[in-house]
């Protein structure tokens, strides 16, 4: 069984069957959330792994304070869980048995294990499979609610992705520069019909430019269509300072914002199209193409924004709820 599975089980156990920490204990209500309650047995159940770790690792003179703080933390998490489940009920959100089974299969596949092995591991840890499934159902339910209330409102504009790229994929130098991709469509100067050769190159450039502006992978387009030596590198010609560029390139590139594609530029031997990956005054851009990390950056920013909106939304739900800790 992998460490991921142990970690997963450690998380899931927070919501499994009550296990008293002392031999004899009387259950009681410890918090009220609207029309619902949290009992002492639920706290003991949810906090069992954390409490056990404190008992084993924290010095005796600090143990009571650590356990008290841990119980407060567990109660707060249970309050959040109750609020999520109450909200899901308002929206009539449910989880079918098929959805539950599919989620369980994804967990098994991700951790490279079988249901039989998973069951053995749960038994060895004293966990109940039925309660595990019920908790997993609650997690899916909460996820559906968050998707409805939060995730659908997360929008990451291109400008934020470019800003992140400029901040995290650049390195400080003295001169600064423009990191450029290039596509060139040339003609044969010795062609019998030079005018027709130029026209064919122009049409090819227009077709490629339309694809590039439409969002096609510029590096792939360069590899497929460019007639220049840089085609083997996906059109990557690296970083240029402004004074290093030919006038035709400089006029096209310096007007671009990172991520933009230039108009078609005519040169003495063909037509060229440029894409500016990034530029910074006083900086040089590290050679990590924008397109190669764009989706990774989008996902990073998406998760950051989603977490921020989720915390805000959950706090709003808490503010509207009746909560009393006893």
CB proximity list for 283: less than 8 A, separation 6 or greater: 170, 171, 172, 173, 176, 177
Strands 265-267 and 270-285: antiparallel
Radius of gyration of the chain (CA): 30
| Whether pLDDT at 3 is above 80 | no
How much is the pTM? 0.49
The pLDDT tens digits for 161-187 are 888 887 777 655 445 678 899 999 998
Written as one string, the DSSP assignment of 151-200 is GGG----HHHHHHHHHHHSEEEEEEEEEEEEEEEEE--TT-SSHHHHHHH
Q: Which of 21-30, 80-89, 142-151 has the lowest mean pLDDT?
A: 21-30
Burial class (CB in 10 A: 0-12, 13-18, 19+), 172: exposed
pLDDT of residue 23: 38
- The token duo for 236 is 């990557």
What the chain holds in terms of domains, given with CATH numbers, is 3-154 (1.10.4030.10), 158-288 (3.10.50.40)
Alpha helices in 226-325 (DSSP H): 247-253, 290-320
| Whether pLDDT at 128 is above 90 | no
pLDDT of residue 176: 60
| Alpha-carbon distances of 297 from 7, 145, 263, 290, 323, rounded to whole Å | 27, 25, 27, 10, 39
Q: What is the mean pLDDT of residues 204-232?
A: 92
pLDDT of residue 26: 63
| Alpha-carbon distances of 163 from 54, 156, 157, rounded to whole Å | 43, 12, 10
pLDDT band at 194 (very low <50, low <70, confident <90, very high): confident
Q: Is 281 helix (H, G, I), strand (E, B) or coil?
A: strand
Alpha helices in 182-262 (DSSP H): 194-213, 218-225, 247-253
Q: Is 30 helix (H, G, I), strand (E, B) or coil?
A: strand
Q: Residue 216: how many CA atoms within 13 Å on its side-chain side?
A: 17
């Amino acid at each position: 069984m992998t460490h991921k599975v142990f970690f997963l089980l450690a998380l899931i156990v927070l919501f499994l069957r009550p296990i008293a920490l002392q031999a004899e204990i009387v259950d009681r209500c410890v918090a009220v959330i609207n029309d619902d309650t949290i009992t002492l047995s639920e706290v003991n159940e949810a906090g069992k792994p954390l409490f056990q770790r404190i008992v084993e690792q924290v010095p005796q003179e600090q143990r009571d304070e650590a356990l008290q703080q841990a119980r407060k933390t567990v109660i707060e998490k249970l309050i959040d869980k109750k609020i999520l489940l109450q909200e899901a009920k308002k929206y009539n959100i449910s989880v079918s048995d098929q959805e539950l089974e599919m989620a369980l299969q994804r967990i098994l596949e991700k951790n490279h294990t079988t249901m039989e092995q998973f069951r053995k591991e749960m038994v060895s840890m004293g966990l109940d499979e039925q309660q595990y499934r019920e908790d997993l159902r609650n997690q899916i339910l909460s996820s559906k609610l968050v998707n409805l209330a939060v995730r659908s409102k997360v929008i990451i504009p291109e400008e934020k992705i470019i800003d992140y790229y400029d901040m995290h994929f650049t390195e400080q130098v003295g001169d600064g520069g423009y990191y450029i991709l290039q596509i060139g469509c040339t003609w044969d100067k010795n062609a019998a019909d030079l005018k027709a050769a130029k026209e064919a190159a122009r049409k090819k450039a227009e077709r490629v430019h339309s694809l590039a502006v439409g969002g096609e992978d510029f590096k792939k387009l360069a590899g497929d269509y460019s007639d220049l030596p840089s085609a083997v590198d996906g059109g990557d010609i690296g970083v240029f300072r402004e004074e290093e560029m030919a006038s035709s390139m400089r006029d096209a590139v310096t007007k671009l914002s990172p991520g933009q594609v230039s108009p078609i530029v005519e040169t003495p031997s063909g037509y060229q199209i440029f894409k500016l990956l990034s530029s910074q005054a006083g900086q040089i851009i590290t050679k990590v193409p924008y397109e190669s990390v764009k989706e990774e950056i989008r996902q990073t920013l998406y998760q950051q924004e989603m977490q921020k909106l989720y915390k805000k939304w959950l706090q709003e739900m808490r503010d509207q709820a009746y909560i009393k800790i006893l």
